[in-house]
Amino acid sequence: MNKKVSLKDIAKAVGVSTALVSYVLNNKEKEARVGKEIAEVIRKKAAEMNYQPNQLAKSLKSGKSFTIGLILADISNPFFANIARTIEDEAKKYNYTVIFGSSDENAEKSQDLIDVLIKRQVDGFIIAPTERAEAQIENLKKAHIPFVLIDRYFPKIQTNYVITDNFGAAYQATQHLIETGFGAIGMIAYKNGLIHMKERVRGYKQALKDAAHGKSSLKEVTYEMASEEIQDKIDELINGKQKIDALFFATNTLSIHGLKYLNSKRLKVPDDVAIVCFDECDAFDFFYCPLTYVKQPLIQVGQRAVNILIDKINHPEKAEEQVSLASDFVIKRSSIKPTN
């Protein structure tokens, strides 16, 4: 059986003190004023020697489990999958392990996950909350369990959160369609009370109002029946009194459902209907027409959420932080008016 590598072994290999190695591998080199170069050498040597920290001893000493509970709305959605990967990578820098769970936009399932993870003694949570989860968030606050909300938050509850500027991104997307020359712009969104969806709808409506561009053509579908309901909503938009010539999908999942149906109807993008999607998706690469989309700052959202959470775990008295990040808007052929 191979002998387990210790801090002393690494110190001997690098030619520094054991204390110095301890500071670096516990991410305390700044406090100890350890130079960046020597810290890098120590980390590299620890990796080469396959050093594994004694997590149990570390937990007993610090009173922490060095685990984070991550509850996402839908892990199958590329948006959440990519954020999860960023959170996992960022947490690793602090020697934290992430335990994942997917609520599937179900408040009861979300509560079950919170209960399980609390029993696992996670040090804190990063949560994309579901609708009707206000009581869960209030209970975490009362229990003084550190947490950060991502993607959504509850305006009436003071919490840490990191979100995208949904209003600004939706406003810009709609404004682009207006300025490009499309006359009737429809939008398909989820029918729920979550703030991020409400803000996307508000941005769409405000852009139309500011440009005096007619009434909004908003259609809403439920999360559970989206793939079926979206077909009826698209039919209403393309066959209604105010026949649309542009369509704004409020999420990448809605975009995929909608594009499939448009294909089945033999409607061409952008000739018959222009398309803008909120958020990107790898599946878009296989669509015959390059799609215009809102590019959310996924890496920044994940990194900031971890940084804020770790800071809150280490400094419980720290005030809550509310972070709203701007998105990029990527214009492709799907929203360019055809020249006939």
Q: Per the omega criterion (within 30 degrees of 0), is the bond before 270 cis? A: yes
Distance (Å) of CA 317 to CA 144, 161, 308: 10, 16, 13
CB neighbour list of residue 48: distance below 8 Å, 6 or more residues apart: none
Q: Is the pLDDT of residue 212 over 80?
A: yes
Q: Please answer whether residues 66 and 96 qualify as being in contact, where contact means their C-beta atoms are separated by less than 8 angstroms.
A: yes
How high is the mean pLDDT of the chain?
A: 91
pLDDT at 333: 96
Q: Is the pLDDT of residue 188 over 60?
A: yes
Q: Is the pLDDT of residue 6 over 90?
A: no
List of domains in the chain: 7-52 (no CATH), 61-163+298-326 (3.40.50.2300), 166-296+329-335 (3.40.50.2300)
Q: Please answer whether residues 154 and 212 qualify as being in contact, where contact means their C-beta atoms are separated by less than 8 angstroms.
A: no
In the DSSP assignment, the letter for residue 65 is -
Q: How confident is the model at residue 108 (pLDDT cuts 50, 70, 90)?
A: very high
Give the position of tokens 């409506």: 205
pLDDT at 1: 43
pLDDT single digits (tens) 27-67 = 777 776 788 888 888 888 888 888 876 654 554 455 678 99
Across the strands, what pairs with 296? none
CB neighbour list of residue 297: distance below 8 Å, 6 or more residues apart: 164, 325, 326, 327, 328
Q: Is the pLDDT of residue 175 over 80?
A: yes
pLDDT at 235: 94
Is 58 exposed, middle or buried, given 0-12, 13-18 or 19+ CB atoms closer than 10 A?
Answer: middle
Average pLDDT of span 95-123? 94
Q: How confident is the model at residue 252 (pLDDT cuts 50, 70, 90)?
A: very high
pLDDT at 3: 66
What is the share, in percent, of the chain residues with pLDDT greater than 70?
A: 95
Q: Is the pLDDT of residue 18 over 90?
A: no
Q: How confident is the model at residue 71 (pLDDT cuts 50, 70, 90)?
A: very high
Is 228 exposed, middle or buried, given 0-12, 13-18 or 19+ CB atoms closer than 10 A?
Answer: exposed
Angle between helices 107-119 and 134-142 (to 10 degrees): 20
